[in-house]
């Protein structure tokens, strides 16, 4: 009989759908992702970039430039990482196809692909009953039983591959068409514009946010803040200014994540606000300076909650609490595919852990029970080799 040579495509198929290739890909991606835990990755915003760079240079010193050249500060954005993820996706697609094929062929009974060996059990019938209780399928053929978990073992693995693919598609959508903004600080009634014409606002009560449809917002933390007005003796509101170049305004909303200053140019006064803690309704220390020359002329502490009134040189300062909220906002078109993928992936993996895919064969010959193929742990203990070792 002439030897059958393997088709090159078959060889390629076997290699790319082999466990070893997937293991190597997963390990390479795991190493890249794990490294991001200890190597600070380059932030996307220019504001954070300067701070990040100084931190990195302080930590790694002269090695910083070499590490940057190696791409260690942008691991998940590197070409190598993207190639790895693309290869993983390809591998998963092929495995999904292969598993689908196995599912359709799994109904049939196949001949044992390994040699028979004796196992020490009382009777085949009792073993089969026990296996059926553990959700194995036992199909009889003339001289043997085929035991497997068709179709659930194959379906659970298809869920794993399908779920992982959905997750990757979701991440791709998010990368291509999504955005994320972190560290937005808003106070009651304030509105902030976001990329692509989206917006987010904090309601007057200061507890709820409103945003454009499809935008997801999350309040990371809340902190102290005040609403400030200055009234002169005639009851007229004076203009206030936060910095020299800023617009004048009759009232100000100030988030007190740190000490804040504002000026009352018409009265030549500058006020400094210092929160006592990071609680949203903390007490705030208020100091008023004459400018020039910069000498302090009044000082007070707000009530618990942040309310205060202070009169100085014919100007009445009114402070009312207006806590700030630090908000992160995102638009993620891949949210649903990623969520569905995660659910599928988890369900498939847990199903596979509880009922792993296994196929083996049992037969009875002259009062002896023989087995072929990879046996479950309960039957492995019945094999003579295991018994000899125990003895």
Partner 1 sequence: MSAVAILVGLASGLLAAALGLALWSGLRGMPHLSRAAGGAAWLAASLLVFGSLLAWGSRLPALEGFARTLGMPPAEGPVASLILMAALAIPFELGARERAHWTQSLRYVPALLLVGTALVRMAAADVGAAVDDWVTPIRFLLTVCAGLGARALGQALRVIAAGNGEMERSRTVAYGLLTLVSGSAALVNLWQRGTVWAGADSVMRGGIAGAWLAWSADRLASSWHPRLRALLTAAAALLLILVAARGG
Nearest to 123 by CA among 310, 382, 381: 382
Stretch that binds partner 1, among 112-120, 234-242, 341-349, 359-367 (CB under 8 A): 341-349
Select from 11, 27, 63, 387 the one that contacts partner 1 (CB under 8 A).
27
Stretch that binds partner 1, among 7-15, 172-180, 229-237, 305-313 (CB under 8 A): 172-180
Stretch that binds partner 1, among 21-29, 59-67, 130-138, 186-194 (CB under 8 A): 21-29
Residue 9 or 38: which CB sits closer to partner 1?
38
What is the C-alpha separation between 375 and 117, in angstroms, rounded? Answer: 11
- Site for partner 1 contains 15 (CB under 8 A): no
Select from 162, 283, 332, 375 the one that contacts partner 1 (CB under 8 A).
332
- Site for partner 1 contains 345 (CB under 8 A): yes
- Helix, strand, or coil here: 26? helix
Minimum distance from CB of 84 to partner 1 (Å)? 11
Q: Which residues sit opposite 326 in a β-bridge?
A: 185, 221
- Site for partner 1 contains 37 (CB under 8 A): yes
- Site for partner 1 contains 83 (CB under 8 A): no
Return all residues near 11 (Cβ < 8 A) that are at least 6 apart. Answer: none
- Helix, strand, or coil here: 59? helix
Residue 218 or 297: which CB sits closer to partner 1?
218
Select from 29, 94, 155, 169 the one that contacts partner 1 (CB under 8 A).
29
What is the C-alpha separation between 236 and 232, in angstroms, rounded? Answer: 5
Select from 11, 15, 35, 67 the one that contacts partner 1 (CB under 8 A).
35
Tokens of 313: 């040189």
Select from 350, 365, 378, 384 the one that contacts partner 1 (CB under 8 A).
350
- Helix, strand, or coil here: 9? helix
Minimum distance from CB of 76 to partner 1 (Å)? 9
Stretch that binds partner 1, among 232-240, 294-302, 305-313, 330-338 (CB under 8 A): 330-338
What is the C-alpha separation between 283 and 312, in angstroms, rounded? Answer: 20
Query: Is residue 257 within 8 Å of residue 185, measured between CB atoms?
Result: yes
Select from 12, 31, 63, 139 the one that contacts partner 1 (CB under 8 A).
31
Stretch that binds partner 1, among 272-280, 292-300, 349-357, 359-367 (CB under 8 A): 349-357
Site residues (CB under 8 A) for partner 1, limited to 178-207: 178, 180, 182
Give 163: exposed, middle or buried? Use CB within 10 Å, 0-12, 13-18, 19+: buried
Identify the residue whose tokens are 């933390």: 221
Site track for partner 1 across 208-227, x = CB under 8 A: -------xx-x-x-------
Select from 53, 298, 342, 382 the one that contacts partner 1 (CB under 8 A).
342
What is the C-alpha separation between 322 and 48, in angstroms, rounded? Answer: 26
Query: Is residue 319 within 8 Å of residue 262, measured between CB atoms?
Result: no
What is the C-alpha separation between 346 and 158, in angstroms, rounded? Answer: 12
Residue 231: phi and psi, rounded to 5, are -120, 135
- Site for partner 1 contains 242 (CB under 8 A): no
**DSSP letters along 163-201, please?**
HHHHHHHHHHHHHHH-EEEEEEEE-TT-EEE-GGG-EEE
Minimum distance from CB of 204 to partner 1 (Å)? 24
Tokens of 127: 């073993």
Residue 17 or 274: which CB sits closer to partner 1?
17
Alpha-carbon separation of residue 156 from 23, 96, 348 (angstroms): 19, 11, 4
- Site for partner 1 contains 67 (CB under 8 A): no
- Helix, strand, or coil here: 245? coil
| Four-residue CA torsion sign, 132, 136, 139, 144 | negative
- Site for partner 1 contains 19 (CB under 8 A): yes
Minimum distance from CB of 377 to partner 1 (Å)? 7
Q: Which residues bind partner 1 (CB under 8 A)?
A: 19-20, 22-23, 26-27, 29-38, 40-41, 167, 170-171, 174, 178, 180, 182, 215-216, 218, 220, 328-332, 335, 338-339, 342-343, 345-346, 349-350, 353, 377, 390
């Amino acid at each position: 009989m002439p030897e059958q040579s393997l088709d090159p495509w078959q060889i390629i198929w076997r290699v790319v759908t082999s466990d070893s290739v997937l293991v190597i890909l997963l390990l390479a991606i795991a190493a890249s992702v794990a490294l991001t835990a200890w190597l600070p990755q380059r932030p996307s915003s220019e504001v954070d970039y300067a701070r990040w760079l100084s931190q990195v240079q302080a930590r790694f010193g002269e090695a910083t430039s070499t590490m940057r050249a190696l791409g260690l500060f942008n691991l998940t954005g590197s070409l190598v990482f993207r190639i790895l993820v693309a290869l993983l996706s390809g591998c998963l697609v092929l495995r999904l196809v292969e598993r689908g094929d196995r599912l359709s062929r799994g109904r049939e009974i196949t001949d044992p692909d390994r040699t028979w060996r004796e196992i020490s059990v009382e009777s085949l019938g009792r073993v089969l009953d026990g296996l059926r209780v553990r959700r194995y399928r036992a199909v009889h053929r003339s001289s043997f039983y085929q035991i497997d978990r068709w179709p659930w073992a194959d379906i659970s693995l298809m869920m794993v591959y399908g779920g992982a693919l959905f997750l990757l598609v979701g991440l791709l959508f998010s990368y291509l068409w999504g955005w994320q903004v972190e560290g937005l600080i808003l106070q009651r009634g304030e509105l902030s514009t976001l990329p692509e014409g989206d917006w987010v606002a904090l309601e007057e009560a200061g507890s709820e946010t409103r945003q454009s449809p499809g935008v997801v917002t999350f309040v990371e933390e809340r902190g102290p803040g005040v609403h400030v007005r200055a009234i002169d003796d005639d009851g007229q509101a004076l203009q206030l200014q936060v910095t020299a170049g800023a617009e004048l305004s009759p009232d100000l909303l100030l988030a007190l994540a740190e000490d804040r200053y504002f000026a009352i140019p018409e009265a030549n006064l500058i006020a400094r606000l210092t929160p006592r803690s990071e609680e949203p309704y903390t007490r705030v220390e208020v100091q008023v300076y004459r400018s020039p020359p910069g000498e302090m002329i009044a000082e007070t502490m707000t009530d618990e909650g942040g309310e205060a009134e202070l009169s100085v040189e014919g100007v009445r300062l009114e402070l009312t609490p207006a806590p700030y909220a630090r908000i992160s906002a995102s638009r993620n078109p891949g949210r649903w595919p990623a969520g569905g993928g995660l659910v599928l992936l988890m369900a498939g993996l847990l199903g596979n852990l509880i009922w792993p895919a296994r196929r083996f064969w049992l037969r009875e010959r002259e009062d002896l029970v023989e087995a072929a193929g990879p046996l479950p742990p309960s039957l492995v203990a019945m094999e003579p080799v295991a018994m000899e070792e125990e003895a």
